């Protein structure tokens, strides 16, 4: 037997059948292969303004001696500050190495073999991935007119359902449930299952009917809310996100949490980000302008689009999205293909500065020729 | 879909002729248990006998052979798995290429040839230390002559969903009546087989139906390999031509394969209703039969973002690849290798994947050797004499040894026709033998 064969026998079926996600290569490698002089990354919904001035200052003045020592294992000061800001206790927060890590914490805490999770078919893929490579069933309810469909999700619930993931606003469609719709959903689900409200893009939403999940935690013991510093706060490179729930729920999730996974620089920068007054306002202003510009241009190009809350837009192309990706890459524009989100023929573009959006429009004009 | 019996049994035996009867009896019993008819079982048993005898000739009696039999409802798959260490792998060429040393016995009809004629498909796969001979024998199904019948025109909103048994049979009829023979898979002549293929999940299906259940269109697809999905269709009812049904059927398929292991989706025999703008035209291949030739475009699309790659190829491939990569906007850095006089194995080995029913053979390189030109020539001569006229060669650019076959292929009238991005370890170049083509 070759070593390969032994490995095959060791792997659980659900791992064997899972295809590993291959992230994109570093910019320099991509530019070399695609022959472009510069690259605009419009694929990961990062903040084009970067971190806030306060976060930048904190990063610049970070004490290098701290690099040699372990960080706070449970992000002590950051949780203190979050508690203060949201009028909660420190123990209602759990910080992870990006929101992706807290997804894994929650699934590991509540699910065992034979259980299932429920989410939508066309949403952020990580809920589905973590469930599948953990040997759990991921049940997917189809979206309805680009929105999460509560009835279809409720119809999928059975005795083995442990967690329901709602991405609000939804990545990649930007649609969201308002407060009354979300409350009605919580009512229908009842107290026997965890509902995760993923609010990765919450800070971009200005609509007053948008539910503030962290406030709702007081009303629902089974509600867990995710937030991240990767999007609005521009700290994607430092990997830091958190969850908020009632203390009892957080204590349960903490059992599966790997401590010391969040580095000291990330904690320091995140803490400073929370002190910024202008950053959110400036980012929202840029989003508003760039979205307005893009809408006008896409209409001129007769391209359909799906735009909602968040710092992204989905564009429907009259061609394969994966071909469009390569054509745009040759022009130094990196977008996200939507086939993997089950939206074949669509691309998702992160909203950025107006000049970059102008280059994108030129790129789209080129590929439509 | 009804449940179809499926399963696997396994036998490990020494490569000793005294176990021949054990091997044939085991395969016979397993095939019958998996639902193969007596005639088909007999053919498979003869194939097993030929291969077992041939393996005993080249292996030591203490070596072991594992024989797996899989039943999947519509076919029985037989695998011989054995260690390739210390074996003269020339025995696994479909044809024998004599050399000057005279140390290798060449018979006109090797056990491999006889076995290949007894089954519906036959192939050789190699890993680092093992070889796998794979034989497939299909169950007998009655052939149905599809008659044109008047059906009501679909109306109103259409629902796209997985096909049920009757819907699938209806689709085979609708496609056979309304499309050219080339656009419809051979299996559609046997609706029972198509239903069994779908029941075991080998074939995935989509149909478009109106509220009253009238069929408006359909599409079928399957996994060709871990990384590639192939499909047939879309087929659209005549009354619905020009609507968006074809696009919706394609979207349905793409949504279902989007989060699987597959990296690409391809159709080498698309229907006339394929929404070609949703795909990339990889180029054309020919289909030769009865002295006629038909040129068909292959359509493909990746499911993932291709971030570029480096390929190392023989210099004779550079112009072809550069043009193809430019057309497909694929970021590829092309490196070349050349023969610097290093010692090469004397003998090459090719695996022949023979699909008799569809008159198609796919040659795949196993080992490169100095006799590559003669070996390819011998394979072509044998296959053409056997009435198999559509001969392809799959070259995976992820393996340098594959690429070394390029000059020998071109010398033997093969032409590189298409490049399938990331269909193997790297891109896959498909060569085709063009009878009378220039050297």
Can you give the pLDDT at residue A63?
Answer: 95
Helix axes A76-86, A264-273, angle to 10 degrees: 20
Q: Residue B322: which of B179, B216, B419 has the closest Cα? A: B419
Which of A35, A322, A345 faces B306 most closely, judged by CB atoms?
A322
| Topology adopted by domain B279-439 | Aminopeptidase (3.40.630)
Q: Is B329 left (phi over 0), alpha (psi -120 to 50) or beta?
A: left
- Output the pLDDT for position A2: 47
Beta-strand relationship, B6-14 and A346-350: unpaired
The whole-angstrom distance between B69's CA and the closest CA on chain A is 19
Distance of residue A111 Cα from the nearest chain B Cα, in angstroms: 22
Residue identified by tokens 């990063």 is A59
**Considering only CB atoms, which chain B residues are within 8 Å of A319?**
277-278
Closest residue on chain B to A34 (Cα) = B331
Alpha carbons B192 and B142: distance in angstroms, whole number: 8
**Domain B158-275: top CATH class:** alpha beta
Cα(B368)–Cα(B106) distance, integer angstroms = 20
pLDDT band at B259 (very low <50, low <70, confident <90, very high): confident
Mean pLDDT of B181-210: 93
Which residue in B368, B377, B366 sits closest to B414, CA to CA? B377
The pLDDT assigned to A60 comes to: 97
A84-94 confidence digits (pLDDT tens)? 999 999 999 99
List CB contacts (< 8 A) between A5 and chain B. Answer: 130
Q: Are the Cβ atoms of B333 and A341 closer than 8 angstroms? A: no
Chain B residues inside the 8 Å CB shell of A2: 127-130
Return the SS3 of B68: strand
Q: Distance between CA B144 and CA A259 in Å, rounded?
A: 66
3-class secondary structure, A181: helix
According to the model, what pLDDT value does residue B435 have? 85
CA of B332: which chain A residue's CA is closest? A33
Extract the runs of DSSP E, i.e. beta strands, from B224-262. Answer: 228-236
- Note whether B15 and B63 are within 8 A (CB): yes
Which of A277, A241, A248, A245 lies closest to A75 in space, CA to CA?
A241
Contact B361, B388 (CB under 8 A): yes
Residue A323 phi/psi, 5-degree rounding, is: -70, -45
What pLDDT score was predicted for residue B97?
Answer: 66
Comparing CB atoms, the residue among A4, A33, A323 nearest residue B127 is: A4
Task: Give the architecture-level CATH label for domain A3-50+278-368.
Answer: Alpha-Beta Complex (3.90)
For the stretch B321-366, pLDDT in tens is 999 999 999 999 999 987 777 778 888 888 888 877 778 899 999 8
pLDDT at B101 over 70: no
What is the reported pLDDT for A138? 97
Instruction: Work out the average pLDDT over B125-140.
Output: 85
* Amino acid B234: pLDDT: 97
Count contacts between A and B (CB, < 8 Å).
87
Sign of the torsion formed by the C-alpha atoms of A240, A245, A247 and A248 = negative
* A340–B303 C-beta distance less than 8 A: yes
Model confidence over A170-213: pLDDT tens digits? 999 999 999 999 999 999 999 999 999 999 999 999 999 999 99
Q: Provide the residue ranges of all domains of chain A, joining segments of one domain with +.
A: 3-50+278-368, 53-273
| Interface residues of chain A, partner chain B, Cβ below 8 Å | 2, 4-5, 17, 19, 22, 24-25, 29-30, 32-35, 121, 125, 128, 318-320, 322-323, 325-327, 329-330, 336-337, 339-342, 344-345
Distance CA A90, CA B10 (A): 59
Per-residue tokens: B269: 């025999």
Per-residue three-class SS string for B322-343: HHHHHHCCCCEEEEECCCCCCC
The pLDDT value given to residue A3: 42
Q: Classify domain A53-273 by CATH number.
A: 3.40.640.10
Among the four given CATH numbers 3.30.43.10, 3.30.565.10, 3.30.1280.10, 3.40.50.720, the one describing domain B1-140? 3.30.565.10
Residue A71 above 70 pLDDT? yes
User: Where residue B5 falls among pLDDT bands split at 50, 70, 90?
Assistant: low
Q: For all residues of chain B together, what is the average pLDDT? A: 89
Q: What is the largest CA-CA distance in chain A?
A: 64
CA distance B99 to chain A (A): 32
């Amino acid at each position: 037997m070759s070593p390969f064969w032994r490995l095959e026998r060791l792997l659980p079926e659900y791992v064997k059948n899972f295809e590993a996600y291959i992230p994109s290569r570093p910019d320099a490698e991509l530019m070399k292969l695609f022959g472009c002089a510069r690259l605009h990354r419009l694929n990961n919904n990062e903040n084009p303004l970067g971190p806030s001035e306060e976060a930048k200052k904190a990063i610049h003045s970070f004490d290098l001696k701290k690099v040699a020592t372990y960080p706070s294992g449970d992000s002590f000061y950051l949780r203190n500050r979050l508690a203060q800001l949201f009028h909660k206790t420190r123990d209602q927060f759990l910080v992870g190495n990006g929101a992706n890590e807290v997804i894994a914490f929650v699934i590991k805490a509540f699910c065992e073999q034979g259980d299932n999770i429920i989410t939508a078919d066309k949403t952020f893929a990580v809920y589905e991935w973590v469930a599948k490579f953990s040997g759990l069933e991921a049940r997917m309810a189809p979206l309805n007119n680009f929105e999460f469909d509560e009835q279809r999700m409720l119809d999928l619930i059975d005795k083995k359902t442990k967690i329901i993931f709602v991405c609000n606003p939804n990545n990649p469609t930007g649609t969201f449930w308002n407060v009354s719709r979300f409350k009605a959903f919580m009512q229908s689900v009842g107290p026997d299952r965890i509902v995760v409200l993923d609010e990765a893009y919450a800070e971009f939403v200005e609509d007053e009917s948008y539910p503030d999940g962290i406030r709702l935690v007081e009303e629902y013991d089974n509600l867990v809310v995710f937030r991240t510093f990767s999007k609005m706060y521009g700290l994607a490179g430092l990997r830091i996100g958190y969850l908020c729930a009632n203390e009892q729920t957080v204590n349960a999730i903490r059992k599966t949490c790997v401590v010391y996974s969040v580095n000291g620089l990330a904690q320091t920068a995140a803490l400073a980000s929370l002190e910024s007054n202008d950053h959110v306002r400036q980012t929202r202003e840029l989003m508003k302008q760039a979205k307005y510009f893009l809408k006008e241009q896409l209409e001129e190009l007769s391209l359909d689009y799906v735009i909602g809350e968040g710092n992204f837009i989905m564009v429907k192309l009259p061609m394969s999205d994966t071909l469009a990706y390569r054509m745009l890459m040759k022009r130094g524009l990196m977008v996200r293909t939507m086939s993997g989100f089950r939206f074949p023929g669509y691309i998702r573009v992160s909203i950025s500065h107006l000049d970059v959006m102008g280059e994108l429009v030129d790129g789209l004009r080129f590929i439509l020729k | 879909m009804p449940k179809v019996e499926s399963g696997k049994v396994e036998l490990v035996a020494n490569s000793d002729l005294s176990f021949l009867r054990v091997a044939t009896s085991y395969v016979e019993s397993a095939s019958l248990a998996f639902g193969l008819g007596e005639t088909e079982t007999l053919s498979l048993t003869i194939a097993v006998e030929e291969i077992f005898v041939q393996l005993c000739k080249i292996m030591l009696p203490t070596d072991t052979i594992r024989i797996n039999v899989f039943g999947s409802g519509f076919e029985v798959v037989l695998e011989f798995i054995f260690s390739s260490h210390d074996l003269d792998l020339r025995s696994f060429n479909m044809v024998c290429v004599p050399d000057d040393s005279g140390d290798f016995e060449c018979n006109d009809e090797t056990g491999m040839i006889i076995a290949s004629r007894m089954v519906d498909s036959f192939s050789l796969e190699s890993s680092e230390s093992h070889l796998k001979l794979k034989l497939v024998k299909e169950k007998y199904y009655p052939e149905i002559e599809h008659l044109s019948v008047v059906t009501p025109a679909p109306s109103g909103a259409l629902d796209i969903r997985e096909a049920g048994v009757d819907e699938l049979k209806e689709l085979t009829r609708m496609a056979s009546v309304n499309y050219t023979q080339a656009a419809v898979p051979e299996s559609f002549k046997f609706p029972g087989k198509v239903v069994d293929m779908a029941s075991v999940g080998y074939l995935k299906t989509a149909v478009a139906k109106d509220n009253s259940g009238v069929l408006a269109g359909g599409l079928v697809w399957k996994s060709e390999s871990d990384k590639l999905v192939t499909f047939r269709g879309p087929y659209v009812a005549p009354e619905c031509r020009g609507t968006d049904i074809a696009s919706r059927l394609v979207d349905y398929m793409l949504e279902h394969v989007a989060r699987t292991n597959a990296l690409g989706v391809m159709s080498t025999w698309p229907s006339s209703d394929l929404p070609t703008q949703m795909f990339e035209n990889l180029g054309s291949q020919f289909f030769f039969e009865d002295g006629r030739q038909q040129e068909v475009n292959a359509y493909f699309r990746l499911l993932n973002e291709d971030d570029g790659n480096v390929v190392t190829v023989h210099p004779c491939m550079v112009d072809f690849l550069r043009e193809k990569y430019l057309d497909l906007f694929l970021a590829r850095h092309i490196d070349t290798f050349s023969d610097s006089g290093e010692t090469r194995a004397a003998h090459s080995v090719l695996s022949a994947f023979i699909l008799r029913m569809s008159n198609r053979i796919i040659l795949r390189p196993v080992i490169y050797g100095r006799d590559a030109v003669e070996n390819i020539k011998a394979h072509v001569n044998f296959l053409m004499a056997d009435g198999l006229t559509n001969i392809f060669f799959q070259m995976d650019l992820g393996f340098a040894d594959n690429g070394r076959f390029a000059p020998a292929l071109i010398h033997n009238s093969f032409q590189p026709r298409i490049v399938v991005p990331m269909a193997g370890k790297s891109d896959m170049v498909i060569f085709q033998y063009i009878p009378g083509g220039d050297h």
